[in-house]
Amino acid sequence: MEKTIDGIKFSVAPFQVTEALRLKSYLLKKFGPSLGQLLGVLQGGLPENASLGDIKLDGEVVSHAIEKLMEHLGEEEFESFIKRMFRNVSASLTKDGAPLLLSFSEQAFSTSMDIVFTGRLFTIYPVLLLVLEANYPDFFGKMAQGFGSKIQKILTSEPAGQSSKSETAS
């Protein structure tokens, strides 16, 4: 899967099946509370031919979700998570007039991160969405089609017996 984000062409190859399964379990354990919040944004589904990376997210929603994510990860664990997610990512860009193709392999990770994301740290998040979409299109497609708001409600612990205005109106 390929996508140009912030002027850089990112390519993502899917994980091996075993790693994809292990990572999915990790993501659900670590990010369950924020996953519900992020998927709530997708409750109406994606427009036709759109991808997760095309969604225009409200800065406040994203910042609150990132804050929730960070509650579950220490500094070193976050770096390890990013390395794991970027393992099958490459970036094509032009630097000082010369074309560059960078990988985020274990050996090249720090150098590639510095070259690609210096001055554009927020670009990491749409790339993470691209990695998730490349590896779990069925999961996120199903979640986006109505489950997001239900998960949001469960994870925010709305008291039993109370319902939102939209539910009481239906």
Q: Output the pLDDT for position 153.
A: 44
- Other C-beta atoms within 10 Å of 85: how many? 21
Contact between 122 and 45 under an 8 Å Cβ cutoff? The reply is no
CA distance 90 to 102: 5
Please give the pLDDT value at position 4. 94
For 16-68, the pLDDT digits (tens) are 999 999 988 888 777 766 665 555 555 555 555 555 555 555 556 556 666 66
**Which residue did the predictor score with more confidence, 152 or 143?**
143
Rounded to whole angstroms, the Cα distance separating 15 from 98 reads: 30
Q: What is the pTM of this model?
A: 0.66
Q: How far is CA 35 from CA 12, 29, 40, 154, in A?
A: 21, 10, 8, 12
CB contact at 8 A, 5 and 121: no
Q: Give the separation between CA 56 and CA 41, rounded to whole angstroms.
A: 10
Residues 87-133 pLDDT 10s: 999 999 998 889 999 999 999 999 999 999 999 988 898 898 889 88
Distance between CA atoms of residues 115 and 95, nearest Å: 9
Residue 34 pLDDT: 61
Q: 12 pLDDT exceeds 90?
A: yes
Give the three-state DSSP class for 60. helix
137 falls in which pLDDT band (50, 70, 90)?
confident
| Cα 150 off chain centre by | 19
Q: What pLDDT is stored for residue 77 in this prediction?
A: 87
